[in-house]
Amino acid sequence: MSCAYDAESGLFTIHTQNSTYQMVADEHRYLLHLYYGARTEGDLRYLVTYADRSGMCASPHDVQDRTYSLDVLPQEYAFQGGGDMRSPLLVVRDAHGTFGCDLRYVRHEIRDGKYALKGLPAVYSDTEDDGAQTLSITLTDARLGLEVELLYGVLPKLDIITRAAIIKNAGAEKIVIKRAQTACLDMVHGTFDAITFCGRHAMERRPSRRHVGHGSLSVGSRRGMSSNQYNPLMILCDRDATETSGRAWSMSFVYSGGFLAEIEMDQFDQVRMQMGLTDEQFSYPLKPGEQLIAPEVILTYSNAGLERISHNLHRCMRKHVCRGPWRDRPRPILINSWEAAYFDFNGDSLARLADKAAELGIEMLVMDDGWFGERKDDLRALGDWTVNEQKLGGPLRQLADYVNSVGLKFGIWVEPEMVSEDSDLFRAHPDWALSIPGKDPVLGRDQLVLDMSRKDVRDNLFEQLCGILDQANIEYVKWDYNRSIVDVYSRLAEDQGRVLYDYVLGLYDLLERIIQRYPTLLIEGCSAGGGRFDAGMLYYTPQIWTSDNTDAHDRMTIQYGTSFGYPCSSMGAHVSACPNEINGREVPLSCRGTVAMAGGGFGYELDLLELPERACEIIKGQVKRYHEIEHLVREGLYYRLSSPLTDAIAAWGYVAEDGSEALVSAVVMNVEGYGVANYVVPRGLTRGALYHEEYSDTVYAADAIMDMGIPLPVGSAPYMSRMYHFVRIDG
């Protein structure tokens, strides 16, 4: 059993393979957090200290004990109104406009299997024998009739614990939820760093490591999406933690909208880590009988450094977040028309591109933006999802059939959540766009955002998208979203503070309907590149376009940061033209291929018809090589062997779970005159074993290369790249 309750002590204990999580419903029925760390046994209540720390630390009225204050004690679900003046998870306003609640334990349940959340993505149990369990703990406020059900999902073999909260109005009057976060971890002592993942459009998820001192350190998104600027992933670790040593705790939000992640050190040097919904423009009314679900947070712990945090999360995301037939299958190598032609294409030019792609071994053609309505540029026609047959020279089926006839799959680009003012849809239904009456709307990419909180809007989009998908053999959809939400006003909402949350639920509803109708369809998520790269989207789209920036130099940093929380199988990564369209950098085609092959959604984004013969031969070789190593990229344990932010080389590797095979890639980042030799040092190989390196036909001892490495050529030019494919010699 992973979950246990001791009625005499009030202790709740959760065990995974390598960790223990413990809390207690104490004699006053408050739920206190005790421990989350290395697996252990016993009663850990001794970790909590009680002392009179002055009257400034208030005590509940019925406790009558100045040594007892929620302002000091570690909380399991911190709420506003009980005397805890640290950052809360829950803030409630009652029908009279008064803030404050008092949550006490009333009951619990332990059951086999992992809970699910209505209308929201969540980690799921893959098999009946994986030992998954759910612990449900209910807290109530008798005055308000408020119930909060805390859900803990346990995947013991993966060292994963998930948390969610269902906030219910079981009273007689309306209440308003002003803040609804999901999880916190209270550390009673320690010296820590916080690692967050910041950036911007075309430069997402750069790791930022900072010391945790007094005060609050927070990241989040107010943009209506998880955002290019901050990712809903946060790691707390020992100050001296490295890839392979030290303690670390992580939180990942299974949600694609606005969020807040925070780490706060209080006046007694205690540290609280928390994550959940942003309270910016959030005000969620609950009538009697209604409920609000605080989306899931994935927790994992490591006492062996950051690498194990990533391995735990990768296994979880690959097998227990991603779903559908593409979860465990190689994704087709594709050519996307965007950087090949932008809006300037027709049916004949796409057919020629397909012919060339088939010649090079590429497996799918994706027709990007510009195929529908009057879409001549990005100023018009979003929302009008009808095929422009004049531009394509005939029906969509005609083009798709031709692409299939030369041996390629066929895919399309869509941006269903957006609408252009110059569109038939907007002219017919201007009220369907999020906009504030009497205020000129703020545009992004010359487009408005459709009100996905409305069922009639979603129904229209579902009908339009089905009308397209039913026309031809479309096996892939790139689902884009290219602006932030600024004007938050829905004409059907009772309280505008619920719109952004309901928008995300509406998005999930539409995606789920599409998936159920087209279960074999591969959907790639996209939001101006990596603006919605989160666990919530991975539940519906098993791969996500990692960034609009396809420059290999920048992509090494972007993919490095992304790897801390997300598996390489989920990363869309393409070889694009040089000079790069965003930064003008020139990188050799061989290096561009090495970097793009680090993602499970490998492909090309350039005009194949303009390439010289030598470049075509290189692409043929890359396609062949990717087929050889794809299974390792998709399923292998990932190792960050160096940092592209600080080191002279960028190196990364993948090792089969049983150690039988490995792939190591390296790129020279910096070159100095008569410089020192650079060595690639793998990890994860089987100690004592010999490995055959396939590309050089060389045998290496695992112990030697994991201790000293393999030298790269001295005097290598910038962006010289190498790949090493190791196969263990057994017997």
pLDDT tens readout for residues 409-459: 999 999 999 999 999 999 999 999 999 999 999 999 999 999 999 999 999
Q: What is the C-alpha to C-alpha distance for residues 585 and 545, in angstroms, rounded to an integer?
A: 20
Same domain, 314 and 340: no
Provide the number of structural domains found in the chain: 3
**Residue 132 CB contacts under 8 Å (≥ 6 apart), including other chains:** 2, 112, 113, 114, 125, 153, 154, 155, 156
Q: Express each pLDDT in 560-619 by its tens digit.
A: 999 999 999 999 999 999 999 999 999 999 999 999 999 999 999 999 999 999 999 999
Q: What is the C-alpha to C-alpha distance for residues 281 and 271, in angstroms, rounded to an integer?
A: 27
Instruction: Name residue 579's amino acid.
Output: P
Tell whether the model's pLDDT for residue 545 goes beyond 90: yes
Q: What is the pLDDT of residue 56?
A: 84
Q: Average pLDDT for residues 205-227, to the nearest whole number? A: 97
Q: What is the C-alpha to C-alpha distance for residues 426 and 433, in angstroms, rounded to an integer?
A: 8
Q: What is the pLDDT of residue 716?
A: 79
Q: What is the C-alpha to C-alpha distance for residues 388 and 230, in angstroms, rounded to an integer?
A: 37
Same domain, 402 and 445: yes
Same domain, 520 and 409: yes
Q: Average pLDDT for residues 479-508, to the nearest whole number? A: 97
Helix, strand, or coil here: 36?
A: strand
- Residue 646 has what DSSP assignment? T
Q: Average pLDDT for residues 292-318, to the nearest whole number? A: 98
- Residue 430 has what DSSP assignment? G
Same domain, 104 and 245: yes
568 in a structural domain: no
258 in a structural domain: yes
Helix, strand, or coil here: 446?
A: coil
Same domain, 524 and 667: no
Same domain, 500 and 373: yes
Note whether 298 and 313 are within 8 A (CB).
Answer: yes
Last residue of a domain, one of 510, 545, 580: 545
State CA 511 to chain mean position distance. Answer: 16
Q: Average pLDDT for residues 230-251, to the nearest whole number? A: 98
Mean pLDDT across the chain: 97
Tell whether the model's pLDDT for residue 552 goes beyond 90: yes
Q: Average pLDDT for residues 552-565, to the nearest whole number? A: 98
Q: What is the CATH number of the domain that holds 673?
A: 2.60.40.1180
281 in a structural domain: yes
Considering the chain, what percentage of its residues have pLDDT values greater than 90?
96
Same domain, 282 and 386: no
Nearest to 299, CA basis, from 263, 275, 265: 275
Same domain, 683 and 538: no
Q: Average pLDDT for residues 153-172, to the nearest whole number? A: 98
Instruction: Name residue 728's amino acid.
Output: R
Same domain, 313 and 395: no
| Alpha carbon distance, N-terminus to C-terminus of the chain | 39
Note whether 554 and 530 are within 8 A (CB).
Answer: no
Same domain, 228 and 349: no
Instruction: Name residue 696's amino acid.
Output: S
Q: Please state the pTM of the whole predicted model.
A: 0.98
Q: Average pLDDT for residues 265-291, to the nearest whole number? A: 97
Q: What is the pLDDT of residue 181?
A: 98
Same domain, 224 and 258: yes
663 in a structural domain: yes
Given pLDDT bands bounded at 50, 70 and 90, which one contains residue 54? confident
8 in a structural domain: yes
Tell whether the model's pLDDT for residue 674 goes beyond 80: no
Q: What is the C-alpha to C-alpha distance for residues 238 and 245, in angstroms, rounded to an integer?
A: 9
631 in a structural domain: no
Given pLDDT bands bounded at 50, 70 and 90, which one contains residue 670? confident
Tell whether the model's pLDDT for residue 671 goes beyond 80: yes
- Residue 665 has what DSSP assignment? E
Tell whether the model's pLDDT for residue 676 goes beyond 90: no
Q: Which two tokens stand for residue 354?
A: 């397909």
Q: What is the pLDDT of residue 713?
A: 87
Q: What is the C-alpha to C-alpha distance for residues 559 and 725, in angstroms, rounded to an integer?
A: 20
Q: What is the C-alpha to C-alpha distance for residues 146 and 524, in angstroms, rounded to an integer?
A: 40
Beta strands in 606-702 (DSSP E): 637-640, 649-655, 661-668, 679-680, 690-693, 698-701
615 in a structural domain: no
Q: What is the pLDDT of residue 126?
A: 82
As annotated, the active-site residues are 480, 548
Domain that residue 665 falls in: 649-728
Same domain, 203 and 111: yes
Torsion, CA 359, CA 364, CA 368, CA 374, rounded to 10: 90
Q: What is the C-alpha to C-alpha distance for residues 675 and 347, in angstroms, rounded to an integer?
A: 52
Tell whether the model's pLDDT for residue 128 goes beyond 80: no
Nearest to 602, CA basis, from 366, 435, 253: 366
Angle between helices 589-596 and 613-635 (to 10 degrees): 20
Question: Residue 290, exposed/middle/buried by CB under 10 A (0-12, 13-18, 19+)?
Answer: middle
Q: Average pLDDT for residues 277-289, to the nearest whole number? A: 97
Q: Which two tokens stand for residue 604?
A: 């090309």
Nearest to 253, CA basis, from 547, 533, 572: 533
Torsion, CA 304, CA 308, CA 309, CA 311, rounded to 10: 180
Q: What is the pLDDT of residue 361?
A: 98
Q: Express each pLDDT in 331-376 by its tens digit.
A: 999 999 999 999 999 999 999 999 999 999 999 999 999 999 999 9
Nearest to 146, CA basis, from 70, 63, 71, 82: 82
Given pLDDT bands bounded at 50, 70 and 90, which one contains residue 53? confident
Lowest mean pLDDT among 125-134, 135-144, 344-353, 594-603: 125-134
Q: Which two tokens stand for residue 320?
A: 């227990």
**Residue 627 CB contacts under 8 Å (≥ 6 apart), including other chains:** 330
Tell whether the model's pLDDT for residue 538 goes beyond 80: yes
Q: What is the pLDDT of residue 419?
A: 98
Q: What is the CATH number of the domain that holds 395?
A: 3.20.20.70
Considering the chain, what percentage of its residues have pLDDT values greater than 70?
100
- Residue identified by tokens 């369990």 is 133
Q: What is the C-alpha to C-alpha distance for residues 238 and 192, in angstroms, rounded to an integer?
A: 5
183 in a structural domain: yes
Preceding amide of 579 cis, omega within 30: yes
Last residue of a domain, one of 505, 524, 545: 545
Q: Which two tokens stand for residue 50?
A: 């009680």
Q: What is the pLDDT of residue 731?
A: 79
Q: What is the C-alpha to C-alpha distance for residues 335 and 352, in angstroms, rounded to an integer?
A: 12
Last residue of a domain, one of 545, 566, 591: 545
Given pLDDT bands bounded at 50, 70 and 90, which one contains residue 715? confident
Q: What is the CATH number of the domain that holds 108?
A: 2.70.98.60
Q: What is the pLDDT of residue 129?
A: 82
